Amino acid sequence: MSTPLIAIAPFVLLAAAGAFVAQSGRRPGRLPLVAEGAALAALALAVAGLVQLWLAGPQVLTIAGLPLMRLDTISVTLALLVAFVGWVVTRYARRYLDGEAREGRFHGLTLAAVAVVLILVQSAGLPVLVLSFIATGLILRQLLLFYPDRPEARRAAAKFIRVWGAGDLALILASVLLWASLGTLDIATLTTAPDLPTLAHLAVALLVLAAALKTAAFPVHGWLTEVMEAPTPVSALLHAGIINSGGVLLITLSGLVQHSAGGMAALVIIGGFTAIFGALVMLTQSAVKTALAWSTVAQMGFMLLQCGLGLWALALLHIVAHSLYKAHAFLSSGGAVRAVNAVRKPGPVAVPGLGAVARSFALALVLYLLVAAGFTALLGEKSPQALALGTMLIFGVSYLIAQGLADAAPGALTRRTVAASLGAALAYFTFQVVAQAVWGPALPAAPVAGPLEWALIVLAVLSFGLVAFAQALFPLWAHHPSTAGLRVHLANGLYLNALLDRLIGGFRTSPKS
């Protein structure tokens, strides 16, 4: 069997990164072009790997009988995503960091980070997966400390490495338990295990814990919102790529994780609460990059929720879409601020009353149910989990419809907002069909909903619905004194980050940490 071409890409990047190790001058000359060329070569190898998969089918690279890296629909999708984002960030950084004293070091670390993440998403065995997670954390810590004299950067890096390291420890313990209970660390074998002994269920709990830690889930989210002291390309690389690693872990081992009803329930609860919490805090932020960071917290929570519902293909689609969007959002954040400041400010905004909000939610749900019925009639029955997730998404569009149904709103706005709701429902089911067709055969189907699953589905839908309803009514009570106080508390993340600072010693970082 031939070697998967994508497996070569990390070593190309590491070889190019080595060229920056000996470079110590202020200006690295033409080496940044080498970095961009290496990133482009990795992307080309990823595309070649896709062609190889198409022509030859799935493959596994083994050495001395040990599975190292794999080529399948999941790994090739993630490798293409990582290589593309890595190339975009490297190309952007070549101009962004031009003239920096440690420019060469930055390019070397960036290439190394992309290389180890490429290994992570292609891992065929838990030892490779664990080592790539550890290497990713060590490299990202150095990138977060690119400006080591900034106290905020040292504090964020100190918190990050402790949270990330705790996730590594949970992953190592899970691997030991899986080896002791199932006698293998081969990912393909683990994900097809017919039943799990008690030790393996404990291992799944540790995997869920590792994923929550690595996606900055509540309540250890604080470090992710404090990494703005690093250069913008680091923020893009982190928020568009590395932070998704917890979801990659769960999707890679989805066949194993889904055996544990408790683990799946924990993902729904942790993910749902993180998504709601992150979204509420995001709305109170005035700085663009900080708001984007809180948006990432919310998006990672929603991705964990999707995994907990067993909607693995949609979770993978979420990772792809969020990575592309967030990379663009961070790299264009400066231009976005200038563009908004240049726009003529609008006049008074139509504020919807209670009746308009209630009608908007009812209309959005009716449109969603009609679209769901049409897709069900054409393509077959949808799982309760998929229908519930669509309901949560449509609640967000209901806010737009509420603006259009306000008494002072013009008719054109009403028509546009109703069309937006219909478009969102159509897009959701269309993307669901595409994701299931592309990745569904390689991932487990959503579990049959029992009493526990139904209880979690109802809880999630009601929670998202109540929060969206309250958000739509916010203009009516935004000027109340108690609301102003609540806004301050939310803007500070309910002070949970300060508690984390004290717990892990984030306030006591030395200049050399």
Q: Which helix (H) or strand (E) holds 453?
A: helix 451-477
Residues 153-205 have pLDDT tens digits of: 888 888 899 999 999 999 999 999 999 999 899 999 998 888 888 899 999 99
Q: What angle do CA 257, 263, 265 make, to 5 degrees?
A: 125
First to last CA, the chain: 46
At 141-152, the pLDDT tens digits run: 999 988 888 888
Residue 25: what are its φ and ψ, rounded to 5°?
Answer: -75, 170
What CA–CA distance (Å, rounded) separates 110 from 160? 17
Whether pLDDT at 502 is above 50? yes
| pLDDT(301) > 90 | yes
Are the C-beta atoms of 294 and 281 separated by less than 8 Å?
yes
User: Are 457 and 384 within 8 A, CB to CB?
Assistant: yes
CB 238 within 8 A of CB 139: no
**pLDDT-derived band at 513, boundaries 50, 70, 90:** very low
439 contacts 369 by C-beta, under 8 angstroms:
no
The fraction of the chain above a pLDDT of 70, given in percent, is 86
Q: How many CB atoms lie within 10 A of CB 441?
A: 9
Say yes or no to pLDDT of 411 above 70: no
Render pLDDT for 79-91 as a digit per residue (tens, 0 to 9): 999 999 999 999 9
Please tell me the predicted confidence (pLDDT) of residue 504: 61
Q: Which of the residue ranges 64-73, 125-134, 298-307 would you say has the lowest mean pLDDT?
A: 64-73
Q: Exposed/middle/buried for 451, CB within 10 Å: 0-12, 13-18, 19+?
A: exposed
Task: Assess contact for 110 and 233: CB atoms under 8 A.
Answer: yes
pLDDT at residue 344, as a whole number: 53
Higher-confidence residue of 301 and 495: namely 301
Please give the pLDDT value at position 370: 83
**Max Cα–Cα distance, the chain, nearest Å:** 72
pLDDT at 429: 85
* 60, pLDDT greater than 60: yes
Residue 53 has pLDDT above 80, yes or no: yes
Residue-wise DSSP of 134-199? HHHHHHHHHHHTSSTT-HHHHHHHHHHHHHHHHHHHHHHHHHHHHHHHHS--BHHHHTT-S---HH
Compute the average pLDDT of residues 456-478: 82
Amino acid found at 13: L
The reported pLDDT for the residue numbered 89 is 92
pLDDT for the residue numbered 509: 47
d(C-alpha 236, C-alpha 97), whole Å: 14
pLDDT bin (cut points 50, 70, 90) of residue 512 is very low
Bridge partners, residue 67, by sequence: 62
- Tell me, what's the pLDDT at 112? 94
Query: Picking from 214-218, 351-355, 434-438, which range would have the lowest pLDDT averaged per residue?
Result: 351-355
What count of other Cβ atoms lies within 10 Å of the Cβ of residue 16? 24
| 310-319, 340-349, 365-374, range with the lowest pLDDT | 340-349
pLDDT level of residue 396 (50, 70, 90 thresholds): confident
Element (H, E) at 480: none
Q: What is the average per-residue pLDDT within 490-505?
A: 72
C-alpha closest to that of 115 among 265, 219, 264, 11: 11
Residue that has been written with the tokens 């699953």 in this structure: 453
Q: Which of 295, 257, 258, 255 is nearest to 275 (CA)?
A: 295
User: What is this structure's pTM?
Assistant: 0.90
Instruction: Locate the domains of the chain by residue range.
Output: 1-124, 151-331, 349-477
Distance CA 263, CA 451 (A): 15
Bond from prior residue into 67 cis (ω within 30 degrees of 0) = no
What is the average pLDDT across 451-466?
90
Strand pairing class (66-71; 59-63): antiparallel
Sign of CA dihedral 209, 213, 214, 216: positive
- Vertex 289 angle, CA 285 and 290, to 5°: 40
Query: Angle 316-320-326 (CA atoms, 0-180°, nearest 5)?
Result: 135
What does the mean pLDDT of the chain come to? 84
Has residue 505 got a pLDDT over 70?
no
Q: Which is more confidently placed, 377 or 416?
A: 377
Q: Identify the residue with better confidence: 215 or 397.
A: 215
Return the closest-CA partner of residue 365 out of 383, 388, 332, 341. 388
Asked if the model's pLDDT at residue 59 lies above 50, the reply is yes
Burial label, 166 (beta-carbon count in 10 A; 0-12, 13-18, 19+): middle
Closest CA to 62 of 9, 131, 136, 127: 127
Across the range 32-40, mean pLDDT stands at: 88
8 A C-beta contact, residue 133 and residue 171: yes
Contact in structure between 32 and 44 (CB atoms under 8 Å) = no
Type and span of the H or E element at 410: none
